[in-house]
Amino acid sequence: MYLIKRFLLVVFFVSIIYGVKAQIGLDLISAKNRYSTWNDVIYEFSENQNEIFRYSYGGGVNYWFRLADYRLEFTPGIYYLYSDFNLNDVNQNFKYISHQLGFEFDINVYMFDFVRRTFERDCPSFSNGNDWLKKSFFIQVSPGIFGVFREIKDAPERVNTKRVSGKFDFGIGLDMKLTKHLIVAPILKYGFDIGDKWNGFSEFHGTDSFNDGTSNAYLSLTLAFYLK
């Protein structure tokens, strides 16, 4: 956490020194998750072989800014994700619910057009013919932190959890201008959670407590809209 704070401070001062351009963005998010340990617990507990919290959906808002002379962009923002899972067996019927609220600091690097500024005169991006892909392609790295609330509905005992965990993902995207003031950017990312745990999860399902913690690897697709 200390290193993340130091990193954010460096980004802030560099932005002041070199100048920034800013705008607001909206995100639509879908993700496919794999909570490996919890899936194993569910498999042993039930005949239902579906994966817990396999898909999540949500949205977010961010503050987009970049250096004035280079295509190094930052989109710090908050997001919300919802996921549920139904366990239906002959002897049991439970619904698992997850609410996630998080902060992430996205960093976009336009590696094929890092110092050029002609993209600002191009509207839409496709007007450049074969050049649009080079101008639009970027890689993204994104550290973050999130709080989560999970519960099991209709359980005979209260199995809720509130927890703060970390995350890190990376991916690729395309920054495409649709009009002079509207940009859309599909972003495909792979990532993982850090330190996720659900106290009481194992005991409820009749297994050892060390199964309360799990790794989660996810593949997400974000559709970002920026109003300039």
Smallest CA-to-CA distance from 141 within 72, 208, 197, 59 is with 72
- pTM (2 decimals)? 0.81
Cα torsion 225, 30, 211, 202: sign? positive
Q: Domains, the chain, ranges and CATH? A: 2-227 (2.40.160.20)
Distance CA 27, CA 24 (A): 10
CA 72 to chain centre: 20
Sequential pLDDT tens for the chain (228 residues): 444 444 444 444 444 333 445 578 899 999 999 999 999 999 888 876 789 999 999 999 998 887 877 888 899 999 999 999 998 876 778 899 999 999 999 999 998 887 765 555 444 455 555 677 888 899 999 999 999 999 998 888 888 999 999 999 999 999 888 877 788 999 999 999 998 899 989 999 888 888 899 999 999 999 999 876
